[in-house]
Amino acid sequence: MNATAALLLIASISPLQPTDVIVSPGVPPSEGPDAFVEIQHVDLGTLREGSVGEAVFKLQNRGKAELVISSISASCGCTTVRLSDDDKKVPPGQTRDIVARFDTRGRLGKQRKVVTLRTNDPTEPVLRLTLSANVETLFRVLPRTLINMRSVHRGDQLEPLELYPTDADATLGEVDISVRGAALNHALEPIRSDEGVRGYKVKLSIPERAELGAVSGMMTITATVGGEKATVPVRLAGSVVGNIVARPVALQSLGLTPRGRQFAPVTIASTTLSTFRIVSTDAGPHIEVQVKPIKPGKEYQIRTSLADTAPDGPLATTLVIRTDDTTMPLVRVPMFVNVRPRFMVEPPMVLLSQSDNTRRVRIAGGAGSWAVKGVSCDDPRVRVAVESGPPNDPDGRYLRVTLSSSDLASDARTEVVVSTDDAVAPQIHIPVVLAGPSS
């Protein structure tokens, strides 16, 4: 039988399938380290909230050189892996247990955590090991462990919570509820589920004197089931609004803002069926305010702009809106703006020396047409003259600052004063540094 016939005979006896993988027996181990974990996922099953679950991964070194674990990290702070420096070194042919501990406190429901190992294995330097669990507490909080207080009013009744023991045959008792970070009334009422499981309904409402604004708090429910005590946290999120709401809640412009610039409009609207009227608005002497009715009695738009009289630099104020609503006679919107200097000087400081004794200075005005009425400097060694600017720069005014004396034994400071016809900024002060001979 020739070679071709033999191959055909073998193929007819044991046909290969597309998904078959042929592994050659007796493959020699790697000349270097070779990290191998046969079971890379561990399911811890159902855990009781508050307990610590352990997942053990067996790391083998199938190579011929020492395997070194350079780092171990977990995807969550609730999962920890600790190894001594000696345990991070695995000789050829040996196995090291990687024990990951999962702290279930505050972790409810299905959980999946990842442990990442980095080694000196040249072919697979990163190993990702996973553990999973379903964390249950002694009792359940339904429908969810989040109370959505989105745009609620004082006195509103919220969706109640229901508390049931996880074990239907157990008894739920000694329920204690505490709230921090929010104003929330709560009351307990015994109930029974459709399946006959005894529990409690938690009735929730917003106090009449609750503070208006954003809510970010936590309700802690503690109860005993079968003599054991457990705690379930419930997050509170949303906002308490009055009869009137303003959006946005603040106005700010961190960049240099020119005078006359309009801010984003503020919408003030009724959140109930009642109507209201804006009596007056005020944001200080440097903010101009206009009120535009969108839906008279229900919604208004307030436009603000930076007045021409605003001083240079940071400006903080408050837009105060007075209404005829008895529950919210005042609505306040904080405002912050960084006012662009009325005149921009380039360069902002003039440096003169005997070797470099002249500088050209450009002054750009941010308030429309303006003129230079005069220039001066107290130091007689400095001369200042007004120059014509290029035709393609109608907004700029130019000065020539010159050191006219060689009598400069040491450093000195002075300033150039530019008089303008601008009523708000009649003078511009430009610092000048005279650099004496270097020592």
Phi, psi angle pair for 226, to nearest 5°: 60, 35
In the chain, % helix, strand, coil (3-state, to 5) comes to 5, 55, 40
CATH code of the region 343-435: 2.60.40.10
Instruction: Give me the DSSP letters along 359-392.
Output: EEEEEEESSSS--EEEEEESSTTEEEEEEPPPTT
CATH topology of domain 139-241: Immunoglobulin-like (2.60.40)
Architecture in CATH of 248-339: Sandwich (2.60)
279: which DSSP letter?
Answer: E
Report the relative pairing of strands 330-339 and 251-257 from DSSP bridges: parallel
State how beta strands 343-346 and 372-377 pair.
unpaired
Could you list the pLDDT tens digit for every one of the 439 residues in the chain?
444 444 334 344 333 333 333 333 334 456 899 999 999 999 999 998 878 999 999 999 999 999 999 999 998 889 999 888 888 999 999 999 999 999 988 787 899 999 999 999 999 999 999 999 998 888 989 998 899 888 899 899 999 999 999 888 899 999 999 999 899 999 999 999 999 999 999 999 999 888 888 888 999 999 999 888 888 889 999 989 889 989 998 999 888 898 889 999 999 999 888 899 999 999 999 999 999 999 999 999 999 999 988 888 899 999 999 999 988 899 999 999 999 888 889 999 999 998 889 999 999 875 567 889 999 999 999 999 999 888 888 888 999 999 988 777 788 999 999 999 888 789 999 999 998 876 4
**From the candidate CATH numbers 3.40.309.10, 3.30.70.2190, 2.60.40.10, 3.30.1330.60, the one assigned to the domain spanning 35-136:** 2.60.40.10
- Closest listed residue to residue 268, CA positions, set 305, 304, 303, 299: 299
* Domain extent listing, the chain: 35-136, 139-241, 248-339, 343-435
Q: Residue 345: name the closest of 253, 436, 432, 422 by CA.
A: 432
Q: Can 139-241 and 248-339 be said to share one CATH topology?
A: yes
- The answer, as to whether pTM is greater than 0.75, is no
